[in-house]
A = this chain, B = another copy of it.
Amino acid sequence: MSLNPFPETGQLRHMSMDELTELAAECRRTIIEQVSRNGGHLASNLGCVELTLALHRVFDIKKSPIIFDVGHQCYTHKLLTGRSGAFQKLRQCDGCSGFPSPAESEWDAAVGGHAGTALSTALGIGAARELAGNSDKVIAVVGDGACSNGITFEALNTCKAGGKNLLFILNDNEMSISPAVGALSAQLSKIISGRFYNKTRNAVRRNVKLWPKLHRFVRYIEDRLKSALLPPSAIFQSFGFRFLGPVDGHSLPELVSMLEKIKELEGPLLLHVVTRKGKGAYYAENAPEIYHGVGKFAADDGKLMPASEGFSAVLGKWMCKKAERDERIIGVSAAMIPGVGLSCFSEKFPQRCFDTGIAEEHAAVFAAGMAVAGKRPVCALYATFAQRALDCIYHDAVLGRVPVIFVLDRAGAVPDGPTHHGIYDLGFLRSLPGLVVMMPRNERELEMMLEHALEINGPVVIRYPRGGSKEKALPEPGPLETGKCEVLKESPEGPVIWALGAECGIAEKVVEILEKEKIAATLINIRFAAPFDRETALKFASRLQVVIEDHGIGGAGSALAEILSGIPGSRMAVFNWGKEIVGHGNVDILRKKHRLTPEDIAGEIMKILS
């Protein structure tokens, strides 16, 4: 059904427009088929097919690398660069990843995954080339949503350094992940219907001919009029860009002809390309925020596999319920309102739900400002993107003991791979003075932790993984006390197993396996990664203590090690993702690779005990 082998990038320059159009259709079919089978980023990739084909046709991509901002639009690029085979196993451990990765292919110049970095990377490459006297273009493809990210602005502001070689493609789909917010976005839409400018200009020109004295002055105005009536180009022009477009991003002839012209121009150049997210799959065009990052679905009608309830849904429900009685409750997120489960809240309380665009830092500080003024904001981010806001959590919430509840969703390993794992934040967060860091073991405990967080007059982090509880038969959570763990099962001897958050479900299975081998074990729900329950740790100091956590080093395992290292005779073992780069793919398979299944862990514990 699909072309195999796919045409490679070098062949595109010999193809006719009809053949390119057919190739675009084939790319779409392949993308829809693979994403429907494996999950992935649908809407953003369908929006970028023609643009990517046109770039590969006009430029030698080895010499003129494409830096994809956020990286969630690189599928067509992958299909054209030797990975159409690996694409059949998209996002599987032995297939290709869903994001640009220099480790995967020399055709990917830079990592993509977090927003806002493409322009900086391209300017860096450009600056190096300027020094070497190399004038090959460096291409940054940036969605309008990613333009709301501060790093893009920082790069725009200094684009003189490295800008000569720069082609900045502004992929304007009026949509980042949820509809783009912000002034810049609002103005971009003005350009598209910028006919008023053209009419006005013509009227002025006609009239001026009648009155020669004004001629030179009006020419002067005219130059500036363009930027005045078309504010976004004014913004970009004022940063020193030559602004080109808009071009229909689904018309291959328009794109190719424009890019051919651009090839000869000196940068910094900005090409404004208007695309439609989800193009070619009606369900994704109609609801691109739903078909942004998806699990498996039916390729014909887009019917999604039912999502389990899980932690995100519980957050949303709790917010809705709580907000009715407590007007201090506020929701803040960074272009992730649906992903973190706040869609219902934003519909019910539109005045109290703030979407900052892809701007995690502003989201964190804005939430802190609201808390300073007496609100109780819940700032919900994906853990991996919250890494952007670590300094703000410290500077704007921790130092002033400002009571923001930071909720980090997708905290743990995820199928998207290295750019998206939420497994590196605990080492920093755990070290901050007075910051309480909790992880619930199941949905009920999340509710309890949210309630508990409201009672703490200071900043709190609540982290949980994608999905929900992994428990089978653990008891209902008991009452919470800051810095106290929950002993789920106590045996008078044998190993003491500490599990962080939803890993309690894994630990439960470990205990079962050990019991079959006649090894009684104690099972503890850590609850507080910080402050860690020192007292309970010391109580069991003479026994083997084991930590299971969905995190790299520096997390709960280190917290327990710090406590026990002062105690002669204590001994512990930690099961986490360690310090290697964790790949992409089904998390259960990743667990197998890293020897983190219940069987692996139980086996290892028995080895240590024997």
Contact = CB atoms under 8 A, between A and B. Distances in A.
A394 interface: yes
A121 B369 contact: yes
Contacts of A432: 424, 579
User: Which of A101, A238, A388, A434 has the largest count of B CB atoms less than 10 A from its CB?
Assistant: A238
A603 interface: no
Contacts of A242: none
Contacts of A214: 207
Contacts of A567: 571
Contact of A554 (B128, B151, B351, B558): B558
A359 interface: yes
Copies of this chain: 2
Contacts of A356: 154, 158, 161
Interface in A551-610: 552-554, 557-558, 560-562, 564-574, 579-581
B565 A400 contact: no
B424 A357 contact: no
Interface string A406-420: 000000000000110
Contacts of A428: 390, 424-425, 427-428, 554
A367 interface: yes
A229 interface: yes
A568 B609 CA distance: 12
Interface string A202-218: 01100100010110010
Interface in A533-561: 552-554, 557-558, 560-561
A123 B425 contact: no
A155 interface: yes
A431 B387 CA distance: 13
A372 interface: yes
A562 B557 contact: yes
B431 A554 contact: yes
Nearest to A156: B183
Contact of A566 (B152, B434, B573): B573
Contacts of A158: 148, 181-183, 356-357, 359, 362
B566 A365 contact: no
Interface in A223-256: 224-225, 227-229, 231-232, 234-235, 238-240
A404 to B, nearest CB: 10
Contact of A221 (B225, B391, B400): B225
Interface string A63-98: 000000000000000000000000000000000000
A594 to B, nearest CB: 12
Nearest to A122: B369
Given A161-B354, A558-B558, A569-B569, A234 B228 contact: yes
A494 interface: no
A553 B431 contact: yes
A13 interface: no
A280 interface: no
Contacts of A203: 217
A110 B369 contact: yes
Contacts of A162: 366, 369
B124 A373 contact: yes
A229 B372 CA distance: 39
Given A109-B372, A565-B570, A571-B565, A366 B183 contact: no
A485 interface: no
Contacts of A102: 372, 400-401
Contacts of A574: 562, 565
A532 to B, nearest CB: 10
A5 interface: no
Interface string A259-302: 00000000000000000000000000000000000000000000
A395 interface: yes
A146 to B, nearest CB: 12
Contact of A183 (B240, B372, B424): B240
A172 interface: no
User: Which of A213, A356, A557 has the largest count of B CB atoms less than 10 A from its CB?
Assistant: A356
Interface in A108-130: 109-111, 113-114, 116-117, 120-129
A1 interface: no
Contacts of A149: 150, 154
9 contacts: A120-B362, A122-B369, A124-B367, A125-B373, A127-B354, A151-B365, A158-B182, A565-B565, A569-B569
Query: Which 10 A-B pairs have CB atoms at the shortest separation, nearest pair first?
Result: A124-B369, A150-B150, A427-B427, A224-B228, A128-B373, A154-B362, A120-B365, A154-B359, A153-B153, A387-B391
Given A116-B361, A124-B366, A235-B238, 10 more contacts: A102-B372, A103-B401, A117-B365, A128-B372, A150-B150, A158-B359, A387-B391, A399-B418, A430-B554, A433-B552
